[in-house]
Amino acid sequence: MEQGLIMALVAFALGGVLKGAIGAGTPVVAVPIMALYYGVPFAVAVFALPSLLSNLWQAWKYRAALLPRRFVVPLGLGAAAGAAIGSVMLANLSSATLMGGVAAMTLAYVGFRLARPGWTLPDTAAQRIVWPVATLSGILQGAAGISAPVSITYLNAMRLGRESFIATISLFFGSMSLVQVPLLAYLGVLTSERLTLSAIACVPLFAAMAAGAWMARFIPRDTFDRIVMALLVLIALRLLWQAVA
């Protein structure tokens, strides 16, 4: 098996640990690593099915902890609309532009987390900006495969409990994926070969999610964060180098 595919499986396993432990983080790890070897369209396409299935499963599992409907309905609809726009952008932008976009989004996420670790967002303010935040997140997820600088930062700032965070962000990402999977297939980005690889990628992802849920009982979330931040900086710098080389 070639190195790129091995690294892709490792990336999904690492992302699965994060997904199981904290409810998010899989695309932040998996998409940049796959993009290093195969480009952004491949990475986003292969990530589409694991994203859909894992988020629908966690949204259902933690459904009792979902935020009120007045918040999650615009969150899901805005995310879906944005994902449609972003998917069209993915099919039409150049490889260098997409590489640079993924790198920039990754560094922006790391930079904001380091600069404002204690930033909070009151419930009333979060409700007022839910539509634009959800739509922008969907665009970023559709075009670059990473919306964490907006989506995770936004929900983290609301200081939700673990189960409520997992339920809400899973519905958020699941809404994007419900639109993304058929649209990427229609646009020719999600080919039959990539769909097969996407299905295979579900195996290490779901296996690692179980491990992550178990580890979350013993390892502080801050420890996960520090490891991920260090990894992301290295990956983003490599992506930037490839984009400008």
Q: What angle do CA 110, 228, 152 make, to 5 degrees?
A: 55
201 pLDDT tier (thresholds 50, 70, 90): very high
Sign of the alpha-carbon torsion through 2, 147, 65, 174: negative
Residue 220 has pLDDT above 80, yes or no: no
pLDDT at residue 53 in the model: 96
Q: How confident is the model at residue 217, as a pLDDT?
A: 81
Whether 62 has a pLDDT exceeding 80, the answer reads yes
Nearest to 101 by CA among 41, 153, 30, 154: 41
Residue 237, CA atoms < 13 Å, CB-side half-sphere: 6
Interatomic CA distance for residues 99 and 43, integer angstroms: 11
40-61 helix and 26-38 helix, angle to the nearest 10 degrees? 160
Sign of CA dihedral 228, 233, 237, 240: positive
pLDDT band at residue 132, thresholds of 50, 70 and 90? very high
| Local confidence band at 61 (pLDDT 50, 70, 90 cut-offs) | very high
Mean pLDDT highest for which of 22-36, 138-152, 193-207?
193-207
Do the beta carbons of residue 232 and residue 109 sit within 8 Å?
yes
| CA neighbor of 201 nearest in space, from 92, 91, 38 | 38
**pLDDT value at position 137?**
93
What is the pLDDT at residue 245?
62
Average pLDDT, the chain: 87
Q: Are 91 and 231 in contact (CB under 8 A)?
A: no
At residue 72 the predicted structure's pLDDT band, cuts being 50, 70 and 90, is very high
Q: So what's the pLDDT on residue 1?
A: 52
Confidence of residue 231 (pLDDT cuts 50, 70, 90): low
Give tens-digit pLDDT for 133-176.
999 999 989 998 888 778 888 888 888 888 898 899 999 999 99
Handedness of CA 200, 138, 71, 15 (dihedral sign): positive
